[in-house]
Amino acid sequence: MLYVTLTIDHRALDGFQALHEETVQAVIGCGERGRRAYGAYALAYPSRLRVVACAESDPQKRDLFAMEHRLEPDDAHADWRGLFTNPRPAFEAVVVATPADNPPLMRLRAA
């Protein structure tokens, strides 16, 4: 499994245009970066990037993200650990779109 941390800079998303096959990903953090950058890219280019699961502690952000990406309720987690406890559906990459000083993110990087 590949773990990816990307920046908010939309130019960073240009690298995804080189993908020839669909990448299946999960998103941790469904706020500004998770939803409006990476989530929006996945919706705009579904043949390149597909979101199959998410983790977000804010229920409103999580529900909106899940609705936009047509995720099953069991695939929208309140905590990032849920993505790895029962990784259904399978994903190839994880985009971490949370503040760098976020304690859960720091624990994930240490794992």
Distance of alpha carbon 38 from the chain centroid: 7
Residues in the chain: 111
More confident residue, 88 or 61: 61
Q: What is the mean pLDDT of residues 98-105?
A: 66
Q: Could you report the per-residue pLDDT of 47-86, keeping only the tens digit for each?
A: 888 999 999 999 999 999 999 999 999 999 999 889 888 7
Q: Which region holds residue 99: left if phi is over 0, alpha if psi is between -120 and 50, else beta?
A: beta
The rounded radius of gyration (Å) of the Cα atoms in the chain is: 13
Whether 42 has a pLDDT exceeding 90, the answer reads yes
Q: How confident is the model at residue 20 (pLDDT cuts 50, 70, 90)?
A: low
Q: How confident is the model at residue 11 (pLDDT cuts 50, 70, 90)?
A: very low
